[in-house]
């Protein structure tokens, strides 16, 4: 199946359950959350702080394992996959963008972008793509500065380039503009929108109105479940799919 096929969901998640803690202290953060994202679609997830948005995103990306339910990315099972398989999935199919950028302080901006390209098993075309991304994201002038010499917006653009360097069909972004000023935030949002318009599925956790404004769909995480809001706010239209 072609992951860029607009009709096929790149991301499918069903009935995810996740609890933190054990025994009496255990709290169900996710309690039957389901969602999907198609190629070319920018999906925003909103919810109050502590509702489990980051937890959900990490499970979607295979960074954490759910207690129940399953996730599929580009037609491949994430849940229950071996660590080796998961690594390959993350290498080729998923790009992450974090709220705190997570650039390696020892490497300059460009080297951070090229990081996934140096992994064993990486796509051969990745380095060239990385250079091009740095150019396109307007980072050429600061490509050789250390992360601590960069502004927050620049750091996040490098992080975005890093997520795109393997040309994955799915981008997961956790509050990508949460730490940025309005102007930088707009730039990053536009780049995410571009990424989606080029045929990727982009899932973005946010609580900023600017972010929901550019989204094709807005999902709300509440009491461990996902409900769909109409673009620009309003009442939930329907609960998300329980099954594909």
Partner 1 sequence: MRNAWAGLRARPGRAALTGAGIAAAALVLGVALTVAVGLATGFDRAATQADLPSVVARFDEEDPRDVADRVRRLPNLAAHSFRYEVTRVELRAGANRLGEGVVHVVGGGRRGYAVVAGRDVGDAAGEVVIEQGLAREWDLGPGDTLDVGEAGPAEVVGVAVAPDNVAFPLARTARVYLSEAGLLQQFPEGSRFPANLVLLWAADEERADVLLSFARQSAYGLSSVRFLTREGLRSLVEQASGIVVALLVAFAIIACALAGVLLAAGAHSEIQRRLAQLGVQRALGVTPGAVTAVAAAQGALVAAPAAAAGLLVGGLLAAGGTDAVLAALNELPPGPGARATVLAGAWGGVVALVAGSAAWPAWRAARRPPAGLLRGGDVSPPRKAARGRGGMTALGARLVTAHRARYAAVVAVLGMAAAVVLLLLALASLLERLRDDPATLGKRYSLTAALPADRADEVRALPGVAAAAPRYEQRATGASALGSPLRVIAYPGDHTIFEAPALAAGRRLAGPGEAEVGQGLADALGLRPGSTLAIQPGDGEELRFRVVGVVRALQDEGRVAYVRPDRLLAASPSLEAPLAVRLDDGADAAAVRAALARLGAEPRAVGGATGDDRGFLAVLAGLLRLVAVTVGLVCLYALVQSLALTVRERRGAVAVLRAAGADHRALRRLLFGAATAVVIPAAVVAVALEEVVLAPATARLAAGYADLPLGAGLGQAVAVSGALLGLAALASWEMARRLAREPVVTGLRETGR
Ligand X SMILES: Nc1ncnc2c1ncn2[C@@H]1O[C@H](COP(=O)(O)OP(=O)(O)OP(=O)(O)O)[C@@H](O)[C@H]1O
In the complex, the smallest distance separating the C-beta of residue 30 from partner 1, rounded to whole angstroms, is 14
Subset of residues 50 to 89 that bind partner 1, contact rule: CB under 8 A:
58, 61, 63-65, 83-84, 87-89
* 8 Å CB contact between 222 and 51: yes
Site string for partner 1, 90-129 (x = CB under 8 A): xxx-x-x-xxx-x-xxxxx-xxx-xxxxxxxxx-------
Query: Is there binding between residue 54 and ligand X (CB under 6 A)?
Result: yes
Going edge to edge, which strands form the sheet with 27-38? 27-38, 9-20, 68-73, 76-77
Beta bridge partners of 36: 12
Site string for ligand X, 165-194 (x = CB under 6 A): ------------------------------
Subset of residues 1 to 20 that bind ligand X, contact rule: CB under 6 A:
20
The size of the interface with partner 1 (CB under 8 A), counted in residues, is: 42
Q: What are phi and psi of 25, to 5 degrees?
A: -75, -5
Q: What is the CA radius of gyration of the chain?
A: 17
Q: What is the residue-wise DSSP string for 143-168?
A: TTS-GGGS-HHHHHHHHHHHHHTT--
The size of the interface with ligand X (CB under 6 A), counted in residues, is: 11
Among ligand X, Mg ion, partner 1, none, what binds residue 49 when CB lies within 5 to 8 Å by partner kind? ligand X
Give the pair of three-digit tokens for residue 234: 């309003």
* 8 Å CB contact between 206 and 192: no
Instruction: Using CB under 8 A, list all residues that contact partner 1.
Output: 58, 61, 63-65, 83-84, 87-92, 94, 96, 98-100, 102, 104-108, 110-112, 114-122, 144, 146, 148-149, 162, 166
């Amino acid at each position: 199946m072609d992951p860029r096929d607009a009709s096929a969901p790149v991301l499918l998640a069903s009935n995810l359950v996740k609890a933190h803690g054990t025994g009496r202290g255990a709290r169900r953060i996710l309690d039957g959350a389901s969602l999907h994202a198609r190629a070319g679609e920018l999906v925003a997830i909103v919810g109050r702080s502590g509702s489990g948005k980051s937890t959900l995103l990490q499970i979607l990306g295979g960074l954490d394992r759910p207690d129940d339910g399953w996730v599929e990315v580009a037609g491949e099972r994430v849940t229950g996959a071996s660590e080796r398989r998961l690594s390959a999935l993350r290498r080729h199919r998923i790009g992450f963008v974090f709220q705190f950028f997570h650039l390696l302080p020892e490497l300059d901006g460009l080297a951070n972008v090229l990081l996934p390209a140096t992994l064993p098993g990486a796509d051969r075309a990745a380095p060239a793509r990385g250079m091009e991304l740095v150019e396109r994201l307007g980072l050429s002038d600061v490509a050789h500065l250390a992360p601590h010499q960069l502004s927050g917006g620049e750091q996040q653009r490098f992080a975005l380039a890093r997520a795109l360097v393997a040309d994955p069909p799915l981008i997961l972004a956790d509050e990508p503009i949460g730490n940025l000023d309005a102007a930088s935030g707009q730039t990053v949002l536009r780049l995410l929108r571009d990424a989606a318009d080029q045929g990727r599925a982009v899932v973005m956790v946010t609580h900023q109105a600017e972010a929901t404004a550019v989204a094709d769909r807005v999902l709300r995480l509440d009491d461990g479940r996902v409900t769909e809001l109409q673009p620009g706010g309003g009442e939930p239209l329907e609960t998300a799919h329980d099954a594909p």
